[in-house]
Amino acid sequence: MLGELWRYWTTFAPERVRKFGYLNRLIALEFRAKRCALAWESHIRSCRNVIIKTADLCERQGTCVIIGSGLLLEIPLGPLASRFDQVYLVDMFHMPQVVAEAKRHFNVKLLTGDITGVFLAMKERRAPGPHVPAPPGAHSALERC
């Protein structure tokens, strides 16, 4: 618990990421993953294997987009970076360890944004519904892919 608090205090994040609890949830997940590593091992391995097998089925391996990349727990970034010309990791916030991992691969780019429109809905104090469009421009970087 103290480790989580320290991580929260020492992680630079935009106000909205803190205000709406996204940073708290990421840190909680990070520490839970460490505590439950043994129990989660087969799930994480299975997810990574499915992603790699699916990537191998792609006819063209130019661009790979991971929406909701999170902590990269289930994402086999190295194998994806070696298979695709360009890999985009999209999330509302990228933790420092994700940024560091992405920098290890010349063809991995981080895109930060709320493609779901959840932050906008929360800011406007309304519940995000199933038909809430993403804010304008949220997909502009992906449209170039």
Q: What is the pLDDT of residues 76-105, one digit of tens each?
A: 999 999 999 999 999 999 999 999 999 999
Tally of domains within the chain: 1
Output the pLDDT for position 130: 64
The token pair that represents 84 in the structure block: 């695709």
Residue 137 burial (CB < 10 Å; 0-12/13-18/19+)?
exposed
Our CA dihedral for 36, 42, 43, 45, rounded to 10 degrees, sits at 110
Output the pLDDT for position 145: 43
Give which of 126, 135, 91, 83 is closest to 109, Cα–Cα. 91
Regarding predicted confidence, which is higher, 39 or 127? 39
Task: Name the DSSP class of 23.
Answer: H
Regarding predicted confidence, which is higher, 55 or 15? 55
Does the pTM surpass 0.95? The reply is: no
Is residue 45 scored above 60 in pLDDT? Answer: yes
Domain membership of residue 129 as a residue range: 2-143
Our CA dihedral for 79, 82, 86, 88, rounded to 10 degrees, sits at 20
